[in-house]
Amino acid sequence: MRGSRRRRATNAPPIVFNSNEVALGEICVIGERANQSSRDVILRFADLLTDIYGRRLAVTFAGRNIQSCPRPSRVYLRLYSGRPPSGLLNADLRQMDRDYDIRLPAHWREPVASPAQTNGYFGYRGAVAHLLVRQAPATNLSDVERAFYRSILIEELFQVVSFGADVLKFDLDRPFLSKLQEHPVNLRNFSWYSTEFMAGLLASNPQGLCSFDVMMLHALAGSGLNSVNSPELIRFMETNFDALVRASETTISEPSYAMLLDPNCSDLPD
């Protein structure tokens, strides 16, 4: 979403960051069968979007390959717990290329660069996103492992709907305001599967959505804008600030969403 493999053709359709298109579309879960924790997060997040956007996000738990999805989806989520599935990731992207006419370079391959990553494309037949997320390989988890796997899945789901990118945060004395904020940490020397890596990543940003993130989803849904990277979104939030706060408070108070939220960043702006 943040760059291009090559210069975009002048006749390509315009890039439109339409949150409603993603939130009201379909998500197809492929790869390894979702464990209970992953399934709970995915379905609860779908419930959250249903409450905010007013229409059910269709979630399909399909098979190992992208072809097992019943139809081309706006969002694909591949889960794995063992070695990073580089071959399957790139097979997914090639199928997306055929379905959405992305026009990827012929011999290009996408690396698996982290335990959770999102690749978004604006093809000639519409926008599509692919999430690759590692899930817990076992059920007997430590508190750190349980929080880590939940956190990375929540972050990727939120980013793909909000079109939000990571926001670097250097001042640790100020509280986090959004799941998108990230304090830079150097974890290159640690295995992705190590407690040190998981604890370090957990400390670098909120473990769940902040209240402001919920407010942003309400703003994206309520504004009805075709593109979220617009000054009109800011004007909408300023005009409807009190109503957005009230709607967010109602959503946050729903007990079933507690698993998606970080209580350490629960304050709404005033």
Closest Cα partner for 244 from 207, 212, 211, 219? 219
Mode of pairing for the β-strands spanning 126-134 and 75-80:
parallel
230 versus 239: the higher-pLDDT residue is 239
With a cut of 90, say whether residue 205 has pLDDT above it: yes
Q: Rounded CA gap, 211 and 95, in Å?
A: 37
Contacts (Cβ under 8 Å, ≥6 apart) of 251? 48, 51, 52, 214, 218, 257
Give the predicted TM-score (pTM) of the model.
0.90
Q: How confident is the model at residue 178 (pLDDT cuts 50, 70, 90)?
A: very high
Instruction: Examine the pLDDT at 58 and tell me if it is beyond 60.
Output: yes
Q: Smallest Cα–Cα separation from 201: which of 229, 251, 228, 166?
A: 166
**Residue-level pLDDT at 3:** 43
Residue 20 has pLDDT above 70, yes or no: no
Q: What percent of the chain has pLDDT over 90?
A: 66
> Out of 33-47, 72-86, 162-176, 250-264, which region has the weakest mean confidence (pLDDT)?
162-176
Predicted local confidence at residue 66, as pLDDT: 96
Locate all alpha helices (DSSP H) within the chain, ordered by sequence: 19-23, 36-53, 86-100, 143-162, 195-204, 211-223, 231-239, 241-252
Q: Which amino acid is at 212?
A: F
**Residue 174: which residues within 8 A CB-CB, separation 6 or more?**
none
Mean pLDDT, residues 221-230 taken together:
76
Longest dimension (CA), the chain: 53
Write down the pLDDT at residue 228: 66
More confident residue, 213 or 5: 213
Q: How far apart are CA 87 and CA 64, in angstroms?
A: 13
76 phi/psi in degrees, rounded to 5: -115, 135
Q: Which range, of 17-31, 42-56, 197-211, averages the lowest pLDDT?
A: 17-31
Model confidence pLDDT, tens digit, residues 65-97: 999 998 888 899 999 998 999 999 999 999 999
More confident residue, 72 or 8: 72
For residue range 111-170, list pLDDT tens digits in order: 999 999 999 888 888 889 999 999 999 888 999 999 999 999 999 999 988 877 777 778
Lowest mean pLDDT among 26-40, 86-100, 215-229, 246-260: 215-229
- Residue 120 three-state SS: strand
pLDDT at 1: 37
Instruction: Please give the domain boundaries of the chain with CATH numbers for all domains.
Output: 19-203 (3.40.50)
- pLDDT at 19 > cutoff 70: no
pLDDT for the residue numbered 254: 97
Which tokens sit at 82?
Answer: 């063992």
d(CA 109, CA 89): 9
